[in-house]
Each structure stands twice: as structure tokens, then as C-alpha cells.
Structure 1
Amino acid sequence: MARCIMTFVATILLAAGVQAQTRQSEEMAYRVKDQAFNHSQVEGISHFITDRLGSRLAASKQKMRAEKLVTDTLKSFGFDNVHTEFAFEFTKGGWDNEKNYVAMTAPYYCSFAANPKAWSGSTDGLVTGDCILLEATDTTSLSNYRGKLHGKIVIMPIAREYELSFRPMAKRYTDEELSEMTKDNRPSNPWGRWSSGSNKGLQQAIDSLIKAERPLAVIVGDGTFNIPGSRGVNYKVGDPEPVPEIVLPTEDHGRMVRLLKGGDEVKMELDVRNTFTDNQKINNIIAEIPGTDPKLKNEVVLIGAHLDSWHGGTGGADNGSGCITMIEAMRILKALDIKPRRTIRLALWGGEEQGLYGSRGYADHKLYDKAQKKKLPEYDDFALYLNMDFGSGRFKGVYMEEDDMAYPYFEAWKQPLVSLGFDTFSPMSVGSTDHVSFTRLGLPAFQFIQDPLDYFRAYHTTMDTYERLSLDDLKVNAAIVAWLAYSAAMDDGRIPVKPGYPKTSQK
């Protein structure tokens, strides 16, 4: 009898579990795909996010301009509760590049594709100067440069030698690679231990020397194929304006290093103007399709991507592509006039590139009070977060964040998406983007597995523009997000919080 009872209970529990993951109708799947593929607005949204908005460095005047234009556009789509909301204090303040001319004038003339480091200072108009190569392996050898840098243009040594690569410029995942991702490697800790290997003491000494001697500028190499990278310097509002720091591509920087080592006299002329603004706020942009179920409407299915970018390009792959996908997914659902049971909320985060500030602020204000070590009202209403931030490539599946409880839901929701190639669920946890602000609280938040395309060649460089977007991939991605968000908003059940969370030791 006991065995019969246990079998009966197990059957009931199994049935309840299956019922908790609700599969939506094929008719609705057809409507989502029809809207995504036959009535797409991806091309127009892509042009808007990249070409029209331009670069969107955190707290910059360009970013503030973008916030206004984006909120106006989201309102034009008819979304509810469209607004910007404060997320985080940002002591670096705003910074914008307004002029940028960099050239070598001796031993011969050559203009360079250059990119000033964000939050670095300006030159005093057009300046010319002799270049000096600063090669120091320790603080003792660094002392040889004291009194020699003022009025010079400091060329930093080559940090990484260029190596010929035989990898294709862009690629898609193979079936074998996707299959390998589905294996659970947690016992073997595949990430191992990471170490930067950098000499922080020496770098701090170099920074102090530069600050004391005030050379005309500092030149570093970063980026290949004559494309400079985008980086920033340490600065906070109220500090003295830093020395101008300029990034050159590996090829141009390496040329000057070799000339100087070979004994040639190298000169440069520079005209760089950067402006600082006392805008110490990181904002997020929010829009919604409100829930309609009296019992579930306060629960939130959140989808998002970061709107901020580095200043060199227009943030096409990183992360205009994510914003385009999420806006188009919301547009699809709005065009279909759906009435979700749960609220579907779009968040376009600010300050991701400087430290996940936008999503961290959202979590701190709405979900979990770290100081009081207690849940906030929206924690228990958090149903799901879907994030996109790995470039423009097509979605192949989801990194499941070691969340075994989420598998049954995605398995139920994926059926209309398998024909689009969406069928890989990897146990892996991945980092470095906005979903981490929620996974650290044990909440169901996920990043998509995406074809890499040419993301790692282009991101964080001046090359990250509209041309890095694969519009067909973005159409597929938007359809997938729309379907998953709809499915999660309509499901009888929802993915539970991980056991033991939120941990009272959250920092």
C-alpha cells in the first residue's frame, strides 16, 4: 500500500511539474514569426540605434541625447510606462571627444586613425613634440626618465606583439561545438584560476610620474588592422584634468616604437579636444507591456541589453545589437496586441561597460537591499530575465547558469524555435554582463548562446558600427525573445529562485 501511495504521489507531482510549464499555441508562434520576418522593423531600428544615436559613453552628453531620443521612440511604439530612471552614482562624470587629429611628422608625415582614451584630457590646441619611448621594467629603471618627460610625447612600449592569425574573420558555431556546450563541466572547473599577471606597482609608479611631469600626451597601442581600440583612464569629478592619452592601432604604434628603438628622431602633432561634464548619474530606460491577470500582473518578465557603448564607434555589436533585438521583440508583441498575464518589461541599461552600473542599480533599488540584507518588494515578483550582449550573432540556445530547475521551462517553450536553430542549453555560467546582477541574487537570469561572427575582432574598437550587424540574425533573435517572453508571461508556473538565495552575505 505504501508503495502504491508513493507511486500515486509521484504521479501527481510529475503531472503538476508538467503542467507548470505551459506550452503556448502554434497559432501564436506563427503570428510571432510572421510579424518578425514579414513585417520586421529591425533595419530601421538598427539605423536609429547606431547611425542616429552615435556613440553612447556612460554619462556623456551623447548618452544623455540618446536617452531622450530612445524614450521618444519607445513612446511612439505605444509601450506603457516609458521613462528613464536613476540607477547609480557615477563619480567619473560625463566625457565627450569633440576633436581628434593625430599624426607623425618625422621622420616623415603620416596621419593616424587614433582614438583618445575616455576621461583623458585635451591638448592645448595644435601641439607638436618629440617622442620618447618609455621602457621601464621596474621602478629603478623608471627613475631614469625623471625630468625627461615634460613637453614630450610619451610612447609606451608594445604590450602585446602582433601575431598572424589564420582564424576566419567571422564564424558560426558547428553542431559539434554546440553539442560540447551541453556537457556539464562543473566538476572539472574548466575556467581554472585567472590572473592578470600585471605589475600593478610599476603601473602605479608610471602613472604617478606621468601625472607629475605632464608630458604633452601619452600614446599606447591597442587594436589591429589599423583600427584603434576604445579604453578609459582613471578619473573622478573634481580631479585635475588628466594628461591626454591616445590609442593607436598596433600597426601605427608599433611603427613608432621600432623607429625610436632604431635611433630615428620621431615627432608628432596632435590636436585633441575633450570636454568634461558634471553628470554623475547612470540612468536606465524602462518600457512595459502591462500584465492583465489580477493574480500575476505584478510579476515581471524582464528583457534587456545595455544602451551605453564605448566612444570610438557607434556601439553596433556591443551592444546596439542587444537593444535592437529587445526593442523589436517588444514591438512584435505590441503589434500582436497581446494581453500577457505577467508584465513584460524592457530595460535598456546604462553604464554596463564601466561596471554593470545600470543593472546593479536596478537590483539594489528594486530587488535586494544589501545594507539591510533583506529582499525588496519586487524580488518575489521577479519571473525571468533574458539578456543579450554577445554581439549580433544568431541565438543557438541559452547558458543555463547551472540552474537545473530552469531546464523544464525552456524545454517546453523552445518547440516552435527549434526550426530556427534554437536548441542548445548549456549548464555553463557566463559572466561580464548584466544578467550577473540578478544571478548573484539567485534569480532566473540568462544570457543567450550566440554565433560569434566577428564580435571579438570588432568590439571595443572604432570598428563597432552598423556594419557589424547581421540583420537577418537580429530578426531571428527578436522572434526568439518575443516568443520566450510571451511564454514566460503566460505560463502557469515560473522558474523558482535557486535554493538558499538571496544569501545574507551579498555584497
Structure 2
Amino acid sequence: MKKFFLLGVSQLSLLFLFAQKEGDEAMIAKFKEEGLQHSQVMQHAFYLTDVSGPRLTASPGFMNAAQWAKGKLESWGLKNVKIESWGEFGKGWQQERCYVAMTKPYYVPFVAQPKAWTGSTPGNKTMNADVVLIKATDSAGLLQYAGKLKDKIVMLWSNDTLKNGFKADAARYTDEELDKMAKAEPQQPGQQGNRFQGNPSLRQTFQARMAFTRALNNFYLQEGPALVLSSSRGNEGTIFVQSGGQYAKDAPEAPATVVLSSDDYLRVQRLANAGIPVQIEADVRTKFLTKDLNGYNVIGEIPGTDPKLKDQVVMLGGHLDSWHSGTGATDNAAGCAVMMEAIRLLKASGFQPRRTIRIALWGGEEEGLFGSRNYVKMHVGDPATMQLQPLQSKISAYYNLDNGTGKIRGVYLQGNEQVRPIFAKWLEPFKDLGASTLTISNTGSTDHVSFDAVGVPGFQFIQDEIEYDTRTHHSNMDTYDHLVPDDLKQAATIVATFVYNTSQRDEMMPRKELPKPREGRQGF
């Protein structure tokens, strides 16, 4: 009887595992069918970009997108959907008008965008002024221009030259590049994110450049130019635009500052340097917003159903905010649209997750991962002290997408070797879609590191770069038409599968050793 009983239990266990395997395969087939053949990911992207507009943190465009996302998540039946404040951010800002043209020695309109958190040209009307070319490389060199810049249009001498492009802007990872990533060795502590390691002269050069930038900005505040012209990398009308002022509520307002295309900037510089008088006509109007100084995230849940596991959480997310010269399509409406589509696929499949699934669309990522960092500090733990809250032990994993429009090629393991065989198994159904690479390497600068900093397994997917660094990242070309629909469909299908698998596992995802407190480093 005992042998028979053990045999029966064994057979039942095998039957259960077989049924579970068959169920997983059927569910993944559902994700593939719905995600690849009936996707809504581009519709999500349309509302996040074209309809909402630029989504600078604390701007009306960001709140428009947040309200739309909240409504969409609620329409799919998610629970506890909210736009949650993560604390004080500072002043909001938006551009309202930008016209810049050269009128002397001849007329030509320029490609231009104001830098975020900079002011307007005087009088809220079109003005015309001479250009002053500043040739200085340190604080002492600026003194010769003291008292000469009031109401002028100024520009700083640039040693840059237009770099012709002999390579395609868009590219996918080659097999050789992916193989090199897969064979990477674990990084040693302190290696990640240390751009100056082993190169003190590079550090000194960087520090000197930053010191001069601070001195120049203070000089402009004192002298009061009407407009500052700034150069940009890029060509063919692409300009890369970020911030030129401060968003802190008590910060002084920086003078009107616009980024010109490299072609236009260098033309003006050559004329001014040759002693040929240059006049610029400009009307730049911006608006600071101080009614609500808080920053926000969008949060929603699919509640878990397993009595023993429903308090545990699987998280996925991407950052909702963007810069303002484009509509933040690849950075990062793409990631948010994919994560929202993954949630839609999970809901459309009809399955009831064992663990709770929580989506987060972060604000303030571009200014320093503020949304995710403050969420973690409020709800999960403080990396400065490593004082952890109960939720820290209940988040099985956090999955992030924030590397553009490219399809998923695999996963950065973030130094967590224990998850390699798990992820390898989960990627098997997607080898035919180009996703199979696992690299032990870390990748930083986006929201998964906020979770990794307090010992929660946080992962960023490997994505084809497409035009990310060459054309769209923080540029006026970061628009809907630069998205690749089939890549986003593939990514959403894979993310849905990873979240599904994580939610259904008997065990939580393996964890690395808990990080040490980061006192003196502001927590992150």
C-alpha cells in the first residue's frame, strides 16, 4: 500500500506539472496571438505622444498623459489605479512660442528650441539685436565681457565642426555583438557607472568643463542678455535639447536660451568671428508653473488570487516623462506603451494571477529617476540607511523598458547570475523573434536601478538601439513616426510572458546579496 501510495503521489505530481506546462504554453500562445496579430500598442503610443504632446515633468503635457493612462488602465479593469504624488519636485515649465531667424547680413529662419526652465525674450514681442560672440574658456576670460551683454544676443565660441554621417542612423545588434554581451564577465564593485575609472585626466577635464558651465550660467544671470544661443550635436536639422535652467521653486529664472542646429550655429559663429555684423530676430515665450510643485507617478494593479501569494507583487514599468523638443516617443512613450500593452494582454487572456501585478509609469526620470527613487523610498526601503519596509520582501521582481523603440533581444541580469537559467527558459518561445541573449552585465541610468539599490531584483531588457543615440534620444526628432510597430509588438508580448511567469512561480525570484547602506550618496 505504501509503495502504491507513493507511486500515486508521484504520478499526480507529474500530471500537475505536465498540466501546468501545457497551461503555460497555451497562455503564451494567447499572448503571441493577441500581441502580434491584434496589438493596440501603437494606439497607446499615439495618445501618449501626438495627443498628449511633450511630457516634461510637472508640465500640463505630463498630466494629460497621466490622466489618459489612468483612464485606460481603469477601463481594462485594473484596481487601485491612481496618480500618486512622490513628493515635491519644483516648478513646471512649458514653451509657448519660439521663433528665431537671422536678419543681417541676410534673412534665414533657424531650427531652434528653448531649453527647459529658461525664460522669455524681453517684452513678450519680437525683438532684434546684435550677436555677441564670447571667446572664453574660464571664469577669468568672461570678465572682458562684463557690462556688454545686457539685451544682446550672445553665443559661446564652439570648437565643434559638423560631422558628416557615413554610417546608418538605425542599426540592430549583430550576432557578434550579442555573443560578446552573453560572454561578458561580472563587473567588480565600483565599476558600474564609473566613467573615469583609470583615467584621472578625463575626470579633471570633465570637472573643469562643469565648473566653467556653472560660472557661465551665473555670469548670464548677472549680465541679463536678451537671448542665449546654444549649440547642439547632430546634423540634418536634428537638435538635442534638455535643460538650461533650474526647476527648484526658489531658483532664479535663467535668461531665454535656445538650442540651434549645428549648421545654423556654426554659420552665425563664422560670420561673427569674421567681423561681419550679425543680427537675430527672435520671439521666445515660455511659462513657469507654480500652482502644484509636486511630481507624480501612475500606479495600477491586477490583484493576486492565491491566498498564500496574493500579497506578493510583480512590478513592471517605464518612465512617462520626456523632454520637450519632440513628443518623447522613443524616450519613453515606447516603454510605457509596451508596458501598458503587456497589461492589456494579461487582462485579455483572462488569467487570474497568483501574485499581484502592479504597473508603474514614473515621473521625473529625466531629472534623476525621481519618480521611482521616491516610490522606493516611500514604500520599499531607503538605500541610504537600508532601513527596509515590509514591501521590500514581497516584490518578486521589477521589469523596466527604457532603451527606445527597438525590439527585445534579451535581458541584462544586473549581476544576478541565479536568474540566468530561469530567464533562458522563459526566452525559449521567442528565439524565432530574436530574443535569446542574457548578459551578466549591469545597465544603469533608468528606473530599475532604484529597485536594485534596495535589494529587489530589477531588470532592464536588452533592446536594439535603432536610431536612439544617433537621432531620437532627447531630440526634436523623438516623435511617433520614429517608432517601429513590429518591435513594440514583440516587446509587449515578451514582457507579458515574463510578468505572467513571475506571477505564477511557486517561489519568488532569486535575489542578490543585500546592498550596503549608501550614506553620503543621497540614497542612490
1:329 and 1:212 map into 2 onto residues whose CA distance is: 51
| C-alpha separation in 2, matches of 1:382 and 1:287 | 15
Q: Which runs of 5+ in 2 are unaligned?
A: 1-16, 197-202
- Residue aligning to 1:374: 387
Who is 2:209 aligned against? 199
Shift of 1:290: 1.0
2:238 counterpart (218, 227, 241): 227
2:324 aligns with 311
Cα RMSD (Å) = 2.0
CA–CA separation in structure 1 for the residues paired with 2:71 and 2:87: 23
Match of 1:438 in 2: 451
State the Cα distance separating 1:159 from its structure 2 match: 5.5
Partner of 1:496: 510
Q: Which residue of 1 aligns with 2:7?
A: none
**1:335-364 Cα distance to aligned partner (Å, 9 max, x none):** 111100011111000010000001001100
Alpha-carbon contact 1:304-1:347 (below 8 Å) kept: yes
Match of 2:365 among 336, 349, 352: 352
Query: 1:316-340 CA distances to partner (integer Å, 9 max, x unpaired)?
Result: 1000100110000000110111100
Contact 1:88 1:357 in 2 (8 A): no
Which of 201, 204, 210 is the aligned partner of 2:220?
A: 210
* Residue equivalent to 2:114: 116
Query: Does 1:403 pair with 2:430?
Result: no
Partner residue of 2:312 out of 283, 286, 299:
299
Give the drift of 1:187: 6.1
For 2:266, the equivalent position in structure 1 comes to 254
- Paired residue secondary structure (1:414): helix
Q: Report the CA distance shift for 1:410/1:329 in structure 2 as closer, same or farther (over 3 A).
A: same
> Structure 1 residue aligned with 2:101, among 100, 103, 107?
103
Q: Tell me whether 99-108 or 161-170 shows the greater mean CA deviation.
A: 161-170
Aligned to 1:7: none
Residue 237 in structure 1 maps to residue 255 in structure 2: no
TM-superposed CA distance for 1:372, in Å, is 6.2
SS in 2 for 1:129: strand
| TM-score normalised by L of structure 2 | 0.89
Q: How does 1:153-164 map to 2 (within 5 A)?
A: 153-158=153-158, 160-164=160-164
Structure 1 window deviating more from structure 2 (428-437 vs 237-246): it is 237-246
Give the counterpart letter for 1:293 in structure 2: D
Q: What is the CA–CA distance in structure 1 between the aligned matches of 2:193 and 2:514, rounded to whole Å?
A: 24
Structure 2 letter corresponding to 1:173: Y
- Cα deviation for residue 141 of structure 1 reads 2.0
CA drift at 1:201: 3.0
Greater CA drift, 387-396 or 40-49:
40-49
> In the alignment, residue 333 of structure 1 is paired with which amino acid?
L
Mapped to 2, the partners of 1:237 and 1:26 lie a distance apart of 53
Deviations, residues 446-467 of structure 1 (Å, cap 9, x unaligned): 1111111111121101110001
Once the 2 structures are TM-superposed, how far is the Cα of residue 169 of structure 1 from its aligned partner?
Answer: 1.4
1:377-435 C-alpha deviation (Å, 9 max, x unpaired): 21010101110000000100001111111112212322222222111001110111111
The match for 1:452 is 465
Q: Which runs of 5+ in 1 are unaligned?
A: 1-18
For the structure 1 residues 139 and 70, does the alpha-carbon distance in structure 2 shift closer, same or farther, using more than 3 Å as the test? same
Q: TM-score, normalised by structure 1?
A: 0.92
Tell me the distance in 1 between the aligned counterparts of 2:237 and 2:517. 47
Q: How far apart, CA to CA, are the structure 1 residues paired with 2:108 and 2:38?
A: 48
The match for 1:269 among 281, 292, 297 is: 281
Query: 1:191 offset after TM fit, Å?
Result: 7.1
Q: Does residue 129 of the first structure (1) align with residue 143 of the second (2)?
A: no
Which residue does the alignment assign to 1:485? 499
* Distance in 1 of aligned mates of 2:249 and 2:194: 38
Contact 1:157/1:220, CA 8 A, preserved across alignment: no
Structure 2 distance, partners of 1:302, 1:460, is: 26
Confirm or deny: 8 A CA contact 1:442 1:502 kept in the other structure. Answer: no
3-state DSSP of counterpart to 1:378: helix
Counterpart contact for 2:311–2:394, Cα < 8 Å: yes
Q: Per-residue displacement from partner, 1:208-248 (whole Å, max 9, x unpaired)?
A: 22111101010001142212222112322233322101111
- Say if 2:59 is the partner of 1:60: yes
Distance 1:191 1:94 in 2: 29
Number of aligned residue pairs: give it.
487
CA distance in 2, matches of 1:307, 1:394: 19
- Residue of structure 1 equivalent to 2:182: 182
CA distance in 2, matches of 1:180, 1:370: 32
Give the partner amino acid of 1:297: K
Cross-structure match for 1:5: none
- Contact residue 329 and residue 481 of structure 1 kept, 8 A: yes
- The separation in 2 between residues aligned to 1:273 and 1:234, in whole angstroms, is 14
2:347 corresponds to which residue?
334
Identify if the C-alpha distance between structure 1 residues 452 and 133 changes in structure 2 by more than 3 Å, giving closer, same or farther: same
- How far apart are the structure 2 equivalents of 1:437 and 1:128? 47
Q: Deviations over 1:244-293 (max 9, x none)?
A: 01111111111101111111111001111111111321110011111100
More displaced stretch, 445-454 vs 364-373: 364-373
For 2:390, what is the secondary structure of its paired residue?
A: coil
Query: Distance in 2 between the 1:443 and 1:383 partners?
Result: 7
1-structure distance, mates of 2:436, 2:366: 30
Correspondence list, 1:11-22, <5 A: none
In structure 1, distance between residues paired with 2:385 and 2:173: 45
